[in-house]
Amino acid sequence: MRRKINKGSILVTALAVMALTAGISTSLLMRQSIEIKKTELMLIQDKLFSYAQGVEAWGIGELLKAASSHPKNQQADDLTQDWAKPYQPREIDGVTLTGRIIDLQGFFNVNTKLMALRNLYILRSRMLPRNI
């Protein structure tokens, strides 16, 4: 009788070890695939950042060209100059690059307006009588 009990416990132990080994190997394989994907994404991010720097360099070049082509008496820029035209789309390594320089001088910053309103509210609240 004792031999049957030993054979059964050995079989259960072997199955438990196999299940544990399968779980650990699955976990390691999943971690490895996640790390590979993270590396791929980092490489793509670096590549796209380089492309963005290239478009930024184009913009700086356009602005420098526009600044050097101004006659000495003309200090104003307008939206008909070359720098205001969009960068023509170009495909490099399967990525389409495009860009545009926008003159922000005519816009106003909403954050500064909100801060001014906040300061005005604080000032008015300080001027109100305290015992109302």
Q: Give the model's pLDDT for residue 4.
A: 55
Find out whether 48 and 95 touch, Cβ atoms under 8 Å. yes
Helix (H) or strand (E) holding 131: none
Q: Of 3 and 113, which is predicted with more confidence?
A: 113
Q: How far is it, in rounded angstroms, from Cα 64 to Cα 46?
A: 27
Q: How far is it, in rounded angstroms, from Cα 113 to Cα 4?
A: 86
What's the average model confidence in pLDDT over 109-124?
72
User: In angstroms, how far is CA 68 from the centroid of its own chain?
Assistant: 34
Largest CA distance in the chain: 111
Least confident of 6-10, 20-24, 64-68, 106-110: 106-110
What are the boundaries of each domain within the chain?
Answer: 2-127
